[in-house]
A and B are shown apart, each in its own frame.
Chain A
Amino acid sequence: MIQSILDAISLGGLYALAALGLGLVFGVMRLVNFAHGELITIAAYMLVVTVNLPLIISLLLTVLVTAAVAFLMELTIYRRLRGVNPAIMLIASFGLSTVLQRVYELIFGALPKSAVVAPFLNGAFKFAGLSITISSVITIVLTVVILLAMGYLVEKTSLGLQLRAAAADFRTARLLGVRSNRLISAAFVLSGVLATCVAFILVVENPEVNPYYGVNITILALVGIVIGGISSLRGAALGGFVVGVILSALNTLLGNGRVYAYSWLFLLVLIILLVRPGGFLSKGSELERV
């Protein structure tokens, strides 16, 4: 029971991080970046191929490469499309996502690459007579630390203030001096950093990395964003968390019926959206912006 609750919380936290990465970019660009999944994938590949290096070096290399890919995808593709119809940007992000999957296949092969990353996180310990996996506890601790750090960044720093202002009204933010190119680059780099965190947590549990590794979690994080309310980071993170918790709970409760977990999840999402079309944190007014 305790293990199930821990699993639910850690999965929820993981999806919250993925949703936050998507939400940051959506906030400044009104772009649903499907290729966020490919940031998670490249980070996972990097962790696997650098597994023989000391963990800290491997993590640093991974975060550098992932942030660089995020930075470059904005610089080379999305920057040129800025101001075009949002539907076109959406299609571009689909396209980019597919292209990156092909590129990964060329570089790393179609078969999964695997390695045991951070082996000390595997295993279990006994607590009050119960067996608890180390990874679930570490995931929760890590997620809380990252969420707190992001909260600080967004709420207390000048960069965070600019991100919030740009998400509310980019035109006015620019009139006040917010440098659009730099801010959007910063949002992409941050989303790359978050993708690395997500990839690290994922790889510890599932080290079989293939070219589609990040797709699933990205789609579910998107579902979370939609139910949490797309216009606020808090809503996005909360929505991601809820999706993770629900999915984990369904997996536990459905037992052998867990193949239907997604169907139940989407049914629940539908119900939430019927009751609160703008997401749970919406105040009605937030809808008009979308």
Chain B
Amino acid sequence: MPLLEVTDLIAGYGRVEVISKISFSIEAGKSVGIVGPNGVGKSTLLQAIAGGISPSGGSIKLDGVDIKGKKPEDIVRLGLSLVPEGRQIFSGLSVKENLALGLTGRKDKKGSVEAILKMKELFPVLSTHENHQAGMLSGGQQQQLAIARALISEPKVLLLDEPSLGLAPTVIDDVFDRLKQIIALGTAVVIVEQRANLVTTFAEETLVIRDGHVQSRLTPADAANLASLEKSYFGAGE
């Protein structure tokens, strides 16, 4: 049984429907990529799954439990975390406080100390800077903090919205290496990316979203001829 199963999901803002009938599923220890032109609704899709906005149709099952329409604070407790677009770390709070906020999403408070230690091990740079204001960190460090903060609740499924945004290429490689480690530990990871090439190579399956629905599904083998594909989904005149 898949860990996360999204079926015919419909979501938008007010009466405007942004995504219509998107379906995909993911199993433990696997990754799924999501690509598509700017403004197509990738962030909307992740927000609808994580409870940031309320979907108007379809179903979302997390480990067999229906989470559609639940509040974000309840969904995180059921085991799904979102690293939102632009990282959204609390820049006025310290690194330590940002991590501590991740603890609020844990189902039970036992193991909190261990969870923080584990993250500091996985992201050593965070423990070096733990008393600094998070806003003082570099872009790459902030992304690591955002990921670590989302992982502290020990999610079964981790959603990331454009983790490479604004990062230098070597830093991006570093972030994706971390993601590989996290997947190897059994977490299911969904990655929204502008860089189609990067994520198509990385993920077992990558959905290409166009006009609010899944236009095609790619595998790493398709990464080689992505240039022509890119033309097809970014399309002429867009």
Contact = CB atoms under 8 A, between A and B. Distances in A.
Are A and B associated in one complex? Answer: yes
Interface of A: 158, 161-162, 164-165, 168-169, 171-180
Interface of B: 50-52, 71-73, 76-77, 81-82, 84, 88, 90, 92-93, 97, 100-106, 149-150, 153
Contacts of B72: 174-175
A161 B73 contact: no
B149 A176 contact: yes
Nearest to B88: A172
Given A165-B93, A172-B90, A177 B50 contact: no
Nearest to A177: B105
Nearest to B152: A176
Given A165-B90, A172-B84, A177 B106 contact: yes
A175 B84 contact: yes
Most buried by B among A169, A171, A174: A174
B132 to A, nearest CB: 16
Contact of A175 (B50, B92, B93): B50
Contacts of B81: 175
A116 B20 CA distance: 68
A179 to B, nearest CB: 5
Chain A contact residues, majority secondary structure: helix
B73 A179 contact: yes
Contacts of A178: 73, 101, 104
A176 B93 contact: no
A168 B106 CA distance: 21
Contacts of B82: 175
Nearest to B96: A161
Contacts of A165: 90, 93, 97, 101
Given A172-B84, A177-B103, 14 more contacts: A161-B100, A164-B97, A165-B90, A169-B90, A174-B52, A175-B52, A175-B73, A175-B84, A177-B76, A177-B77, A177-B101, A177-B104, A177-B106, A178-B73
A180 B52 CA distance: 12
Contacts of B71: 174, 180
Contacts of B153: 176-177
A169 B100 contact: no
Nearest to A171: B52
A76 B151 CA distance: 36
Contacts of B92: 164, 168
Nearest to A164: B93
A168 B72 CA distance: 17
A168 B90 contact: yes
A164 B153 CA distance: 20
16 contacts: A161-B101, A164-B90, A164-B92, A168-B90, A169-B90, A172-B84, A173-B101, A174-B71, A174-B73, A175-B51, A175-B52, A175-B73, A176-B153, A177-B101, A179-B73, A180-B73
A161 B149 CA distance: 14
Contact of A169 (B50, B88, B103): B88
A175 B149 CA distance: 11
**3 shortest interchain CB distances as A-B pairs:** A177-B105, A177-B104, A172-B88
A165 to B, nearest CB: 5
A61 B150 CA distance: 42
A175 B85 CA distance: 12
Nearest to A172: B88
A168 B51 CA distance: 19
Contacts of A174: 51-52, 71-73
B88 A161 contact: no
A290 to B, nearest CB: 15
A169 B86 CA distance: 13
A239 B30 CA distance: 53
Nearest to B100: A161
Contacts of A177: 73, 76-77, 101-106, 153
A1 B211 CA distance: 74
A110 B26 CA distance: 67
